[in-house]
Structure 1
Amino acid sequence: MVGIIAAGLWGADKIWPLPDTNVQTARVVVADDGTPLWRFADAEGVWRYSVSLDQVSPYYIEALLTYEDRWFYEHPGINPLSIGRALWQNLTNQRIVSGGSTLSMQVARLIEPHDRTLTGKLRQVFRTLQLEWHYSKDQILTLYINRAPYGGTLQGIGAASWAYLDKPPSELTRAESALLAVLPQAPSRLRPDRYPERAQLARDKVLSRLAEYGVWSEQQVEEIKEETVWLAGRQAPQLAPLLARRMLSESKSDVIETTIDASLQRRLEDMTMGWKSQLPENTSMGILVVEHSTMAVKAYIGSVDLNDVSRFGHVDMITAWRSPGSTLKPFAYGMALDDGLIHAESLLQDVPRRFGDYRPGNFDTGFNGPVSASDALVRSLNLPVVQVLEAYGPKRFTGNMRNAGITLRFPLNSEPNLSLILGGTGMRMDELVSGYSAFVRHGNVAALRYRPQDPLIERPLLSPGSAWIVRRILAGEARPVPDNQLSDIVPLAWKTGTSYGYRDAWTIGMNGGYLIGIWVGRPDGTPVAGQFGYATAVPILHQINNLLVNRSAQTARFWPRDPRPDSVGRAVICWPQGQSLEAGDPNCRQRRQAWILDGTIPPTLSAPGQDTGIGGWLSLWVNAEGKRVAPDCSGAIKRRIALWPTPLETWLPLAERRDERLPVRDETCPPIGYDTSPPLLILGIKEGAILKRIPGSLSLDLRLDTQGGRGKRWWFINGEAVTETEQTDPFIQTLTVSGKYQISVLDESGQVNSVSFVLD
């Protein structure tokens, strides 16, 4: 008989198998401590946060089993004693006083709901026996704690704990455990945020049961009963929505773990809502905070307000392609340091220049003449960095960035050019912040890590020495000091950026523990007049930095140290030649202290087309009186003079200009065959240019200037003299006839220069 029954049950199990217990669950994106950041409900809108038994407080398990099913681990799924007791109580009281369902039976009803008929009850018993046959007790209990209803679209102890108490179920107290153990009996009627009195009575009933069976002591229960039940309104997790959306597309897990610091994320989101009111209309913001020792992303704000349609809140500006403005400049200086083109105090030229059809200017539209590399970087001057990139090569720069995992995007069928260093390219904020890790990770660029399981991947971009020098410059420590005065932890270092037309305002910051990226602008690319990096993004950077430093007051001493690499040294150099000279040498026109790399001191960087005396030496002969003479004159002595680059003449004090620095000519034995005047150059037109008239005009007004040379200028068009000008006056001529032209100029020193062009 037993065999027949067993065979019948086995056959029934095959004919009517258990419903799939692995139903579609909600997906949750969580922070590094398990705090839910955002949840994506299942197809029915239900939010479950699946947990295992070891992720739940033992107090909850004790309360649940004591109140619902004391003999759970002993009975075969159905407890006849409980069913008989419930039936007797219901009959004697003429109403339903208690149920006889075990936890296994409740799970059977949860996976396959049934009506309250005899047939429905028999089906529940059958499913219960199937559960006990196919699953262990722990597995059945796990199914219950993740399926128990907690009202509305909330299911499971994990979701209930976070929604009602804002804590993981592993941290539930005795009082909270007793409350959540009883809620599934009537989740809507006992909601503690709406009906605290009902919830408290139900909780105390559980507590009395626990004391009755000696699970918890009478004293413990009485103390807990003194606690009043009051909870804030149930909350759904709403942090880092755009990161959550991004992680959802990159992971298939139900619970997607991230490296986000929930408390920091919440603080920054609150701050962002405060900054929102200070931003222009339709303006958004992106913020990224990364712990650079691990490259774990700790805060991710993709827009100023997800729900603000006018500010394009659904657009993730951390992954958007934008112009980086001047934020690429530190990389150019770092690569030039490694290439031996410059040192930290190299003399650079902040003067008007034309590079083919490209004629950059500074943000303030002015020019500063001679500047050091460190000063040019700190002040974010444009012409000096273009000079550096011209010497290094824009294609080479772009290739190095790409090899380190940083993509620069250019228009279709175009190649990298000098404009990229001023924002003439496209970048994503996450890659830009990743790129800045080179300055805090000894020259290596490390990819951002969004999940704990993401590996730490890094690629070399700069040497440790050049990365260290650039970071110290950005931190305001460009002047060398002894090691005992050098901080092991660099103070906040940062670089701003503003794209053309005020479309993007950037700041990338680095403190002892974190990389901080900030972008402000309109997602649709509309210019916002007056919005630039220093005024818009820097105040936000300082506020975030202060928050991070204050939060890390106890742990900041564990931040990575940043000692001076062995490859970095100190040197005293002289302008204009750019190298070390002995004390008292008259060619040392300005003495400066510099960080140098690998013991090398590169000479002053010249620009293509400039005279060979730039940053170097001009050799000449003088007599006993110090006058300039021919080399074969009696008593001629060879002398070297360091001259400033010719384009800097206008910005130099009179005593430093070439005419003042050169000895006067000795007319009794003058130098023959050459003149030391600066090269004569024509400015304002490019060789081979094609000029066009303004539409509707029959003529073209041509205006040219000169640089260098000496004295008056005589001008010629196609070999015919047309006019003469003073050294500082422009040449102005009206042209009416189309065709080829050659314009030449002659100065008092005999120098000639010419340029050819076509008037179309």
Structure 2
Amino acid sequence: MSKSPNKAKKTMAAAVGVLLVAVVSVGANLADLPDSFAALTARSDRTQFLDRSGEPLNATYQSYWNTRDAMALHDMPPLLVKMFVFAEDKNFYDHGGVDWAARGAAVWQNVRAGGIVRGASTLTEQVARMIAPRKRTLFSKIVEGIDAARLERRFSKNDILEFYLNQVPYAANRRGIKQAARYYFSKTPDRLSVREAAALVVLVRAPSSFDPYRGAADINGPIDRRLESFAKAGIITPEQLESGLGETLKPAPPELTVEAPHFLRYLRDVGANGGAVDATLDAWLQKKVAGLTRRRLENLAKRNAGNAAVLVADVKTGDILVWAVESGGKNASAVNAVLTPRQPASAQKPLLYALALTKGMRASTKITDAPFSRAVGQGVHHFKNYSRTHYGAVTVRRALGNSLNIPALKTIEFVGVENYFRFLLDLGFARFDRGADYYREGLALGNAEATLFELTRAYLMLANGGVLKPLRAYKGQAVEPDRRVLPETAATLIGDILSDPFAREFEFGRDSVLNFPVQTAVKTGTSTGYRDAWAMGYNADFVAGVWIGNLDYSPMIDVTGASGAGLLLRSVFTELNKIRNSGGLRLSDGLVAQTVGGETEYFDPNVAETYAENNAAPVVLSPENGVMLAVDPRVPVEWQAYPFSVSDLPDGARVLWFVDGEKTAATTQKTFLWRPVKGSHTVVAEIVDRNGGKTVFPARTVIVK
């Protein structure tokens, strides 16, 4: 009996409805294919840091895509590529995304085996599955086939193959043949043996089951069978087959080329995130300098030196090449010592003299190096040179070269504390938590804390002839533009002084450890109590800074900038000079040579020499306002005295000293010894010149206890 027309129509409508639902369902589940594979892999939420040569600086493999170890197809070993195509999709170049013949054979084989023993997914289908992972069902297989056909229409065969070989997943979140070669064998793909290459092909089928780190026995059989199939197909030669079968698979766990955790932390702090970040660090140089630093700390361990940091940058680009932070088994190694504020001491003096050269000093200007006292806070400090030796009238060149303290104090008085303070702020010293009136003349001796990063950038400015250049940590980093902060004449003259062995011979000798084989501007610093030892330097190509101390601020035992940090700086430049054959430091064309006192000196003809100690306007040196004194009960009062003094007295002038409104002394000497009386006192100085003209100075408070 035939079906009624109405029933046939209903059946047809139902079939059409089911088909429409299926079409809609398939369409709704199709992958959102990218316009380019590069755009797809750029969607990474993890950051991989690479050194300037592409070496990994961190070992994160949490990104879904391989964003840092991708290779161009033409850079991949041809034999390895042929192995993958043969093993995974031998008809890859002949199908349009789905290999129907292979799929039919797989279905028949699975039916005969009574289960799934063969999948027959093409490389293109596997790529589709990577882009849009789905639960493995018959429906998802249909959708993947359609996606594969769409991929074939959008991308070339070579593009698909290149993507697959860069993104195929392995164990431990590794993706692609480059990461796999490094993970399993610590090699690049081009250095794999025939057996190791075959192992990568086998491992993609079941990375966990065949994991060679769990025992190579499980994978050896599949590798042998795969090698035999390669030989039968003519992909490898009989000799390669014999070699591959006779080789023992030896996994080799990978190691990072270099450790730079403090630098990586800084990278993240300055916004280097997402995907692969090309850092400026030189992994080889970082490893070398870190080793030198550790050995220097080992040598200084008995002298309680526990921490050290080294920063190296390229003079021309400002690229950071080395960021080494090491600990000798004590204190907080997690602290980023490059960014930790410490007292720079004399390492900051070149900046003071550079500014002075623009204000009226010359390298030949004479400054008197003699005993010098100043009230500091509520006490009096008697400044001394490191050697406790005074050299009388010395030139600016020798004052800086020998790092003399007294001339530096007179220089900051000439320049002006506020002017120097603002100059340091302009250079990027941002750790000052007080104003210039707090640090006062102590700024000349580096009493305000600064970081190795800040100090190195300042020396980079000197190396670039007065142009302030940012230190750059990664490619594409947003940095401030270069700007000039000093005349080229002043900056290059400082470099000439710091590289002159004769300029430093008073305190360091002519054969000092600071005299490098290649002309290098070098300056050291040692803070009070041996808490910080610094050595800064630059040549035509590199700038480097070294700090040694203890992050818990405990003192070292007689470790100075020269003996402690200077030796390490010398070793660092020995390595740097192996990289580039640096020439000499350049002197500005604007400098003019002139013989002064039998010596050739350079000066800027556009800056008049205005510094002259004898012609300076008198100032009250002591008492400092608010100074606090204490009477010593062990010494008779009449034997105790405190000096009131002025810097100078013109010919025929005298100074009157008033204490609490009463004239206490009238003298033609610059210094008057006042007998302290307990209590709070107001002191006023008045200079009367030979014509009766008067200069009255502001009142100062002296407290005697």
> Kindly tell me: are residues 148 and 705 of structure 1, through their superposed partners in 2, closer, same or farther at Cα, counting changes over 3 Å?
same
Query: Residues 204 and 296 (structure 1 numbering): CA distance in 2 closer, same or farther, change over 3 Å?
Result: farther
Counterpart in the other structure of 1:398: 421
Within-5 A mapping of 1:79-158:
79-86=99-106, 99-107=119-127, 120-133=137-150, 136=155, 140-141=160-161, 144-158=164-178
The Cα shift of 1:245 comes to: 2.4
1:594 and 2:615 correspond: no
Residues 189 and 195 of structure 1 are in contact (CA less than 8 Å); yes or no, is this contact kept in structure 2?
A: no
The structural deviation recorded for 1:329 is 1.0
Q: What is the rounded CA distance, in whole Å, between the counterparts of 1:78 and 1:150 in structure 2?
A: 24
Indicate the residue corresponding to 2:677 in structure 1: 735
Report the Cα offset of residue 705 of structure 1: 5.4
1:88-237 mapped onto 2 (5 Å cutoff): 99-107=119-127, 120-133=137-150, 136=155, 140-141=160-161, 144-166=164-186, 177-192=197-212, 195=215, 202-203=222-223, 205-218=225-238, 229-235=249-255
1:36 match: secondary structure: coil
Deviations 1:96-122 (A, max 9, x none): 875423234444555676777xxx244
Alpha-carbon spacing, 1:379–1:693, altered in 2? closer, same or farther (3 Å): closer
Is residue 227–residue 241 contact of structure 2 (8 Å, CA) maintained in 1? yes
Percent of residue pairs identical: 23
Query: What is the alpha-carbon distance in structure 1 between the residues aligned to residue 409 and residue 201 of structure 2?
Result: 69
Select 2:525's aligned residue among 481, 484, 497.
497
Contact 1:163–1:236 (CA<8 Å) still a contact in 2?
Answer: no
Question: Offset at 1:34?
Answer: 1.1
Q: Decide which of 4, 12, 33 is 2:25's aligned counterpart.
A: 12
2:641 counterpart residue number = 703
- 2:535 aligns to what? 507
Give the equivalent residue in structure 2 for 1:452. 475
Matches within 5 A, 1:529-608: 529-550=557-578, 552=579, 555-556=580-581, 559=582, 562-574=585-597, 591-598=598-605, 602=609, 605-606=612-613
Matches within 5 A, 1:134-533: 136=155, 140-141=160-161, 144-166=164-186, 177-192=197-212, 195=215, 202-203=222-223, 205-218=225-238, 229-235=249-255, 239-249=259-269, 250-277=271-298, 278-279=300-301, 283-304=306-327, 310-343=330-363, 345-355=364-374, 357=376, 359=381, 360-403=383-426, 405-412=427-434, 415=437, 417-454=440-477, 457-477=481-501, 491-533=519-561
The superposition leaves residues 603-649 of structure 1 with CA deviations (integer Å, 9 ceiling, x where unpaired) of: 763178678xxxxxxxxxxxxxxxxxxxxxxxxxxxxxxxxxxxxxx
Does structure 1 retain, via aligned residues, the 8 Å contact 2:312–2:321?
yes
CA distance in 1, matches of 2:54, 2:624: 66
- Please say if residues 497 and 533 of structure 1, whose CA atoms lie closer than 8 Å, have aligned partners that are also in contact: yes
Distance verdict in 2 for CA 1:700–1:256, change over 3 Å: farther
Letter of the structure 1 residue corresponding to residue 497 of structure 2? I
User: Contact (CA 8 Å) 2:290, 2:326: kept in 1 or not?
Assistant: no
Q: Deviations 1:5-55 (Å, cap 9, x if unpaired)? A: 9966652244334489767554210111111111335389x9874525448
Find the aligned partners of 1:383 and 1:254 in 2 and give their Cα distance: 54
Deviation at 1:215, TM superposition (A): 4.3
User: Greater helix percent: which structure?
Assistant: 2
1:30 — aligned with what? 50
Name the CA shift for 1:177/1:445 in 2 (closer, same or farther; >3 Å): farther
Match of 1:616 in 2: none
Query: C-alpha displacement at 1:466, in angstroms?
Result: 2.5
Q: Secondary structure at the match of 2:361?
A: coil
Q: Is the 8 A contact 1:518 1:537 kept in 2?
A: yes
Over 3 Å counting, the alpha-carbon distance change for 1:130 and 1:600 in structure 2 is: closer
CA distance in 2, matches of 1:394, 1:146: 60
What does residue 621 of structure 1 align with? none
Q: Which string of whole-angstrom CA distances, capped at 9 and with x for unpartnered residues, describes residues 680-715 of structure 1?
A: x998x42766655569999967424599999xx9x9
- Corresponding letter in the other structure for 2:677: L
Q: What's the secondary structure of 2:171's corresponding residue?
A: coil
Change (3 A) 1:195 1:728: same
* Post-superposition offset of 1:377: 1.5
1:89 CA displacement: 5.7
Deviation at 1:492, TM superposition (A): 2.9
Deviates more, 1:451-460 or 1:730-739: 730-739
Q: 1:159 to 1:183 in 2, by over 3 A?
A: same
Structure 1 window deviating more from structure 2 (222-231 vs 63-72): it is: 222-231
Does the CA contact (< 8 Å) of 2:338 and 2:451 recur in 1? Answer: yes
Contact 1:72 1:103 in 2 (8 A): yes
Q: Deviation at 1:301?
A: 1.8
Deviations 1:312-348 (A, max 9, x none): 22221222333222222112222222333122x3222
Aligned to 1:651: none
Mapped to 2, the partners of 1:122 and 1:753 lie a distance apart of 101
Q: Is the 8 A contact 2:631 2:676 kept in 1?
A: no
Secondary structure of 1:322's counterpart equals coil
Partner of 2:623: 686
Q: Distance in 2 between matches of 1:442 and 1:180?
A: 54
Say if 1:108 and 1:124, in contact at 8 Å, map to a contact too.
Answer: no
Distance 2:141 2:419 in 1: 72
Distance 1:326 1:5, change over 3 A: farther
Distance across 1 between alignment mates of 2:445 and 2:257: 41
What is the count of residue pairs matched by the alignment?
A: 646
Alignment gaps of 5+ in structure 1 = 481-486, 575-590, 612-680, 746-751
Which of 73, 85, 93 pairs up with 1:65? 85
**Within 1, Cα distance between the matches of 2:612 and 2:196?**
71
Residue among 8, 17, 42 paired with 2:62: 42
Per-residue CA shift, 1:396-420, capped at 9, x if unaligned?
23333444x4224322455463222
Query: Which letter maps to 1:466?
Result: A
What SS class does the counterpart of residue 508 from structure 1 fall into?
strand
Higher mean C-alpha displacement, 372-381 vs 126-135: 126-135
In structure 2, relative to structure 1, the CA distance for the partners of 1:283 and 1:606 (3 Å cut) is: same
User: Scaled by the length of structure 1, what TM-score is found?
Assistant: 0.71
SS at match of 2:339: coil
Higher relative contact order (Cα pairs below 8 Å, separated by 6+ residues) = 2
CA deviations over 1:224-283 (Å, ceiling 9, x no partner)? 666654342233566212222222341233111112112112223333443444446683
Contact map agreement 1:27 1:49 (CA 8 A) in 2: no
SS at match of 2:589: coil
User: Which ranges in structure 2 are unaligned for 5 or more consecutive residues?
Assistant: 1-11, 34-39, 505-514, 688-693
The CA deviation at 1:436 is 0.9
How much has 1:179 moved relative to structure 2? 3.6
SS of equivalent residue, structure 1 residue 517: strand
Distance 2:576 2:432 in 1: 36
The equivalent residue for 1:643 is none
Q: Counterparts of 1:606-645 in structure 2 under 5 Å?
A: 606=613
Give, in whole Å, the separation in 2 of the partners of 1:721 and 1:293.
Answer: 63
